[in-house]
Amino acid sequence: MAHIHLEDGSFSLFFVLLWWTAAIILVGIAIYLMRSEKKPDRRKITLAAFCTAAAFAIFQVSLPIFGGVHLNLTPLIGILAGPAAGSLVVLIINILSAAIGHGGWGLIGANTLVNIVEVFVGYSCFRLLKTTIPDLFPRAGIATIAGLFCGNIAMILIIIISGVQGVNQSTGQILTGLSLLAAVNMGVAVVEAFITGLIVAYIGKVRPDLLGDELL
């Protein structure tokens, strides 16, 4: 998961509640969409659960590239689980991560919003580019870059709007600091795009049924 690299107590109570409410609304819509399926597929729940466990496990792995980075995998979650189940998956991963100190409890709402953006944009790009770019590797790579880029913008907007408690800087100064972080994140996004492309190409070769007809 791309994370707002802040812990509990960084945002004021108003913004903690605001982002939590926005995230609950989006997750509520995802739950409604999943519940209102005419033919509910119970297999989807089990698959989403394992997707959560796999993504959480991989999220904890530090890659020995550029001195050590960890992957976000949110666009991949979107591609594999779809935007509705993917939104629930990212909320659960954020809760589990907060429990072990990888992000704060109060920041779960804001982080879930950022991740939902990544899931949604990643999935949509991957689906929309189906006819233009049939090859899975570049398509998944582009979808990942697009998803993480939009996630980065969402992250910057959330921090700019909320401010950080105790920081007495102008918006321009905060933006300069955040741009530095966003640039690093985009560097990691390129690595992630390459890896996600390989993962999706590998899955497409070994288990194409996991991607489904609508995405292949």
Partner 1 sequence: MSSTMISSHIPDLDLITSYAQREGTFFSRVSPWTKFTGLLLVILLITLTRNLVICGVLYLIILGLYASAGLPVKKLFAWYTLPVLFVISLVGIMVWTEPGTPLFSLNMGLFALTLTDNGLILIITLLLKALISVTYSLFFLMTTRYQHFSAMIYRIFPSPLDQIFLLAYRYLFLTLSMTGAIFKAVRSRGGGIIHSVRVQGRIFAEVFALVFIRSFDRAERVHQAMIARGYNGKYEAGTDMPKPGLSGFCVIGAFVCAIALIVLMVPNTGGLY
Regarding 39 and contact with partner 1 (CB under 8 A), the answer is no
Regarding 38 and contact with partner 1 (CB under 8 A), the answer is no
Interacting residues with partner 1 between 64 and 103 (CB under 8 A)? 64-66, 71, 73, 76, 80, 85, 88-89, 91-92, 95-96, 98-103
For residue 63, what are the β-bridge partners?
69
Q: Which amino acid is at 209?
A: D
Interacting residues with partner 1 between 146 and 205 (CB under 8 A)? 164-169, 173-174, 176-178, 180-181, 191, 194-199, 202-203
Regarding 24 and contact with partner 1 (CB under 8 A), the answer is no
Taking the least distance from each CB to partner 1, the nearer of 76 and 117 is 76
* Tokens 């582009």, residue located: 142
Taking the least distance from each CB to partner 1, the nearer of 112 and 120 is 112
Tokens of 91: 């909320």
- Closest alpha carbon to 183 in 149, 158, 211, 139: 149
Q: How far apart are CA 103 and CA 124, in angstroms?
A: 27
Contacts with partner 1: how many residues (CB under 8 A)? 85
Taking the least distance from each CB to partner 1, the nearer of 128 and 184 is 184
DSSP H or E segment with residue 133: none
Regarding 51 and contact with partner 1 (CB under 8 A), the answer is yes
- Closest alpha carbon to 27 in 37, 15, 35, 39: 35
